[in-house]
């Protein structure tokens, strides 16, 4: 399921003295089945874009097309948007703060039930998704507030997956997790991507972008400044450093070596590539 933004602008609290423009004339496409990463500074408009993708925010001007089915403009009505919310699942930053039900299972089943799935069916889906995110069966009937932070994060993500979305939008899904938890979650998303899910990742971690994504969009002050594959984007070390975004650690190392005279054909962005390049030379 692909999403296309054409000339999208977004202004917060338009028409009041407090209005602030967050996005300027963005045109870009998130290909169906891709793993697209959005990077940029805090306040560059990443999260605003995220909420445009499933109609939580409507563009102030311009249009968001989701496949050929949905066309979001400033005039779209809530009734038309609701089916879109099921197709584009949004995992907010620190999603564990949205959990409210008495048991883990009920909370995960909450999403599908809102879209008309019967309670038994929803519970069956919930069980399946909880197993998918790697949560122990013994915890299914527990009160979510007894769980640890890492487990809660999984429950929250399972809650979104239970709606069986075709696009999964993740806003810094690994913020505040330990390295092991981070790695486990990132490989879960990779595995989901391989089963055909379109993934949109908003992150500050360039290493994750290099390791997992197949397309990158760079935002700066509400404008799209760079787009392409991670390999192409991360070649522009000086540009990214100047924008204070940085590049993967290994790319930075290679860049330093190149300046000292090591003949890289192109800068490697993952450790595997680096090893291959160095081994070859």
Partner 1 sequence: MVVDKLILGRYIPGNSIIHRLDPRSKLLAMLIFILIIFWANNLITNLIMLIFTLAVVLLSRISLSFFFNGLKPMIGIILFTTLFQVFFTSGGETLFSWGFIQVTDYGLGQAALIFMRFVLIIFISTLLTLTTMPLSLADAVESLLKPLEVIKVPAHEIGLMLSLSLRFVPTLMDDTTRIMNAQRARGVDFGEGNLIQKIKSIIPILIPLFASSFKRADALAIAMEARGYQGGDSRTKYRKLSWKRADSLTILILILLGICLFFLKTS
Residues recognised as catalytic: 172
CB of 156 to partner 1, least distance (A): 9
Q: Which is nearer to partner 1, 85 or 193 (CB)?
A: 85
- Residue 99 binds partner 1 (CB under 8 A): yes
Among 40, 59, 159, 268, binds partner 1 (CB under 8 A): 159
Q: Give CA–CA dist 82/14, Å, rounded.
A: 24
Q: Which is nearer to partner 1, 49 or 90 (CB)?
A: 90
- Residue 51 binds partner 1 (CB under 8 A): yes
Q: Which is nearer to partner 1, 18 or 259 (CB)?
A: 18
CA distances from 67 to 3, 77, 88, 217 (A): 6, 18, 11, 20
| 204 CB-contact burial (10 Å; exposed 0-12 / middle 13-18 / buried 19+) | middle
CB of 176 to partner 1, least distance (A): 13
- Residue 154 binds partner 1 (CB under 8 A): no
Q: Which is nearer to partner 1, 100 or 262 (CB)?
A: 100
Q: Which is nearer to partner 1, 88 or 224 (CB)?
A: 88
**Which residues, 6 or more positions from 38, have their beta carbon under 8 angstroms from its beta carbon?**
46, 49, 50, 200, 201, 202, 203, 216, 217, 219
What strands lie across the sheet with 215-220, from one edge to the other?
A: 88-91, 167-171, 198-202, 35-40, 215-220, 223-228
| Alpha helices by DSSP H, the chain | 46-52, 78-87, 104-114, 119-132, 149-161, 179-194, 206-212, 230-233, 237-242, 249-259, 271-280
Q: Give CA–CA dist 56/107, Å, rounded.
A: 21
- Residue 100 binds partner 1 (CB under 8 A): yes
Among 75, 77, 145, 260, binds partner 1 (CB under 8 A): 145
- Residue 22 binds partner 1 (CB under 8 A): no
Q: Give CA–CA dist 153/257, Å, rounded.
A: 39
**120, 124, 129, 130 alpha-carbon torsion, rounded to 10°:** 90
Among 15, 42, 77, 78, binds partner 1 (CB under 8 A): 78
Binding segment (CB under 8 A) for partner 1, from list 106-114, 176-184, 203-211, 250-258 = 106-114
CB of 85 to partner 1, least distance (A): 6
The angle at the Cα of 131, spanning 129 to 134, to the nearest 5 degrees, equals 115
Q: Which is nearer to partner 1, 92 or 140 (CB)?
A: 92
Among 40, 45, 59, 89, binds partner 1 (CB under 8 A): 89
The size of the interface with partner 1 (CB under 8 A), counted in residues, is 26
- Which residues here bind partner 1, judged by CB under 8 A? 13, 16, 18, 51, 54, 56, 78, 82, 85-86, 89-90, 92, 95, 97-100, 110-111, 114-115, 145, 159-160, 163
């Amino acid at each position: 399921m692909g999403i296309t933004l054409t000339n999208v602008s977004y202004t917060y609290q338009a028409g009041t003295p407090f209005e602030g423009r967050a996005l300027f004339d963005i045109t870009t496409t998130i290909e169906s089945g891709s793993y697209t990463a959005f990077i940029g500074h805090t306040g560059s408009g990443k999260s605003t874009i995220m909420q445009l993708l499933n109609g939580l925010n409507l563009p102030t001007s311009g249009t968001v097309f989701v496949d050929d089915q949905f066309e979001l403009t400033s005039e779209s009505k809530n009734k038309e948007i609701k089916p879109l919310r099921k197709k584009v699942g949004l995992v907010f930053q620190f999603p564990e703060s949205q959990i409210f039900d008495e048991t883990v299972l009920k909370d995960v089943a909450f999403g599908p039930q809102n879209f008309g799935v019967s309670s038994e069916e929803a519970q069956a889906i919930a069980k399946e998704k909880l197993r998918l995110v790697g949560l122990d069966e013994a915890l299914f009937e527990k009160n979510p507030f007894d769980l640890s932070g890492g487990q809660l994060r999984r429950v929250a993500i399972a809650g979104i997956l239970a709606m069986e979305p075709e696009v999964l939008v993740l806003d810094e899904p690994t913020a505040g997790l330990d390295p092991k938890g981070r790695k486990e979650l990132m490989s879960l998303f990779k595995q989901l991507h391989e089963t055909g899910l379109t993934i949109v990742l908003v992150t500050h971690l360039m290493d994750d972008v290099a390791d997992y994504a197949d397309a990158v969009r760079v935002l700066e002050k509400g404008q799209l400044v760079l787009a392409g594959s991670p390999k192409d984007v991360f070649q522009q070390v000086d540009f990214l450093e100047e924008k204070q975004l940085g590049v993967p650690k290994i790319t930075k190392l290679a860049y330093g070596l190149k300046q000292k005279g090591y003949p890289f054909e192109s800068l490697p962005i993952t450790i595997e590539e680096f090893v291959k390049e160095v081994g070859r030379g």
